[in-house]
Chain A
Amino acid sequence: MSELINKSALELAAGLKAGEFSSVAVTQAHLDRIHATEADFGSFITVTDELALETAKSVDAKRSAGEEVHALAGVPVALKDLIVTEGVATTAASKMLENWVPPYESTVHNKVKAAGLPVLGKTNLDEFAMGSTTEHSAFGITRNPWNLEHVPGGSSGGAAAALAGFQAPLSVGTDTGGSVRQPAAFTGTVGVKPTYGSISRFGIIAMASSLDQVGPMGRNVADAAALHELLAGHDPLDSTSLPDPVAGFVSAAQTSNLGGKKLGVIKQLRGEGYQDGVRDVFSTALDVAAAAGAEIVEVDCPSISYALDAYYLLMPSEVSSNLARYDGMRYGLRVEPESGPVTAETVMAATRAAGFGDEVKRRIILGTYALSAGYYDAYYGSAQKIRTLVQNDFTKAFESCDVLVSPTAPTTALKFGAEAASDPMALYLGDVATIPANLAGIPGLSLPAGLADGLPVGFQILAPARQDVKMYEVAGPLEAALEASGTRVLDTLAEGLTTK
């Protein structure tokens, strides 16, 4: 294994700045790693070798010429294939968009390009980001680098596997109900869901617009914070984009003092239904935090018990509306019916039958039901009220602590095929700890806290809306305290990989 792929993004940035190695060398090392391991991991839908090396060369030339470049210039990144890239196929892991080459650019990719980060490729996901295992991709599964028999989580499973498999030092995912934090937890990496509106959604293929948020991912907190700083900021092309200043995420993540920080353990999200090993790792991490000077308090968020229910009405409702655009007329797949008249109506129905996978159809139908006359108030309307209650609970909870904490997911990475096909609710329950943050719009982060039966366990930190910096102020020193206590989760994996 090349030394270059073992380095963190900020280490690579420092080395590039000091002229210790070139971006071409760094980028090539990661591309080599991708080609050597893709048969095992399946993290990518598209690998963009030429594009990445072109960017790397251009950054190297600029640095040689003494031009001012972005701090992360030359550090490679992988983008979830839900992020529109002009001129590069963007599929959302759906047959519907299998051959779509976008004619416009997302703000995320624009920022990545402007800063000079070579894009290694587009990572795998559950179709249209619907799922939590990456098994629902139309283009094959992604495997967890920790154990190939286990899922990497989802929907940003490819993004997380690329990090854990040392194929990329940085990844950009998206999080609608936990799709960045849960795969980060399952792969021993760091995943951030910023405050709703922190990062522009322009050019992010929409799933549930009031819940979707772009998520920076890395192998440590400071790397993810650096990517967050790069991607965040007001964008006039997204009417929900926040006009807040972006600064201090990295420096907050690099602070080392947990002293006096109040961590609120959410009563409703510890214990019941959680895997024993997850509970143990979480408790140990709390002990480590306390030993490092943090104060641990318990907080009550009763409405969180209803968050999952509200989410599984609101999300499909927005999905049913957002995915109406795939009608086989202007772009994407078009399929004609095998028999009967060929009209716009029958072509739409045949196209959507052939283009969407089962989980996508399930959510469209559920959303259509929840929005139907006669059911709207009881389902969609009530779910929107629960959203208010969850927000109120969080506001109250933050009066007595700086951040809220919980295990990120009730279990470690599931085995393939563990999904109970007969009970869709069983898998949905895996999102119980991550969904509340999306409903309330508050920022959340998952960092690795240890191993249970050889698989990583994630520790979730939630902060008040528009105060993402508070989450980094705890995550950074907690990561350092955990490492000092002997918990260096990814090192375990890196050691295993070097012997391969």
Chain B
Amino acid sequence: MTESSAITPEQVEHLASLSRIAMGEDELKSLAGDLSTILSNVARVNEVAGDDVPATSHPIALSNVLRPDVVGETLTNEQALASAPASADEKFLVPQILGEE
């Protein structure tokens, strides 16, 4: 586990692209170092629990949490658009989304 947890700047570049964060060379390099350190410290997690241990996703299990199916209050169009970086015709105005790779 320890060997595979050495992270390269190329791997960080891929992760940054998945995370949609633009990063320069220096940042990629320094993050690769940080991640390698952190992962080599926490990698032992997979040595502790066997297959017989169930996973916990939430600390206090509640199931079938539903509310009555009635229409409640929602934001108005105006309220929803008030904090938008750009809007037009009562809609969010976004950069080009079609024609990309």
Contact = CB atoms under 8 A, between A and B. Distances in A.
Given A352-B22, A362-B31, 5 more contacts: A327-B20, A330-B83, A334-B86, A364-B21, A382-B45
Interface string B21-60: 1110001000100110111011011101100011111111
Given A365-B12, A365-B35, A388-B53, A210 B59 contact: yes
- What does DSSP make chain B's interface, helix, strand, loop or mixed? loop
Interface residues of B, number: 52
A437 B48 CA distance: 19
Contacts of B83: 100-103, 330-332
A365 to B, nearest CB: 5
B65 interface: yes
Nearest to A101: B83
A440 B61 CA distance: 11
A309 interface: yes
A385 interface: yes
B79 A103 contact: yes
Contacts, number: 186
Nearest to B93: A329
25 contacts: A101-B82, A102-B83, A103-B75, A197-B62, A210-B58, A236-B67, A242-B62, A312-B38, A313-B42, A320-B19, A324-B20, A344-B94, A350-B22, A356-B21, A361-B21, A361-B23, A362-B31, A364-B19, A366-B35, A368-B15, A382-B48, A385-B48, A385-B55, A388-B54, A438-B59
- What does DSSP make chain A's interface, helix, strand, loop or mixed? helix
A466 interface: yes
Contact of A330 (B12, B18, B45, B92): B92
Interface string B87-98: 000001011110
A342 interface: yes
B96 A343 contact: yes
Interface in A228-243: 236, 239-240, 242
A329 B85 contact: yes
Contacts of B59: 196, 210-211, 387, 391, 438-442, 465
B71 interface: no
A347 interface: yes
B60 A103 contact: no
Contacts of A225: none
Interface of B: 1, 7, 11-12, 15-23, 27, 31, 34-35, 37-39, 41-42, 44-46, 48-49, 53-60, 62, 65, 67, 75, 79-80, 82-86, 92, 94-97, 100
Contact of A389 (B21, B22, B53, B94): B53
Contacts of A379: 42, 45-46
B15 A388 contact: no
A196 B59 CA distance: 7
Interface string A422-462: 01110010000000001111100000000000000000000
A352 B48 contact: no
A303 B48 contact: yes
Interface in A351-377: 352-353, 356, 361-362, 364-366, 368-369, 372, 377
Interface string A394-412: 0000000000000000000
B60 A195 contact: yes
Nearest to A328: B85
A310 B45 contact: yes
Contacts of A308: 42
B100 to A, nearest CB: 5
A365 B15 contact: yes
A310 B59 CA distance: 14
A331 B19 CA distance: 18
A20 interface: no
Given A101-B83, A103-B83, A240 B35 contact: no
Given A348-B20, A352-B20, A391-B56, A386 B75 contact: no
B48 A389 contact: yes
A442 B59 CA distance: 8
Contacts of B7: 369
Interface string A304-341: 00101110110000001000100111111110110001
A392 to B, nearest CB: 9
A124 B39 CA distance: 30
A283 interface: no
A72 B37 CA distance: 48
Contact of B45 (A103, A195, A341, A386): A386
A271 interface: no
Contacts of A320: 19
B53 A343 contact: no
Given A303-B48, A331-B83, A240 B60 contact: yes
A361 to B, nearest CB: 6
Nearest to A354: B22
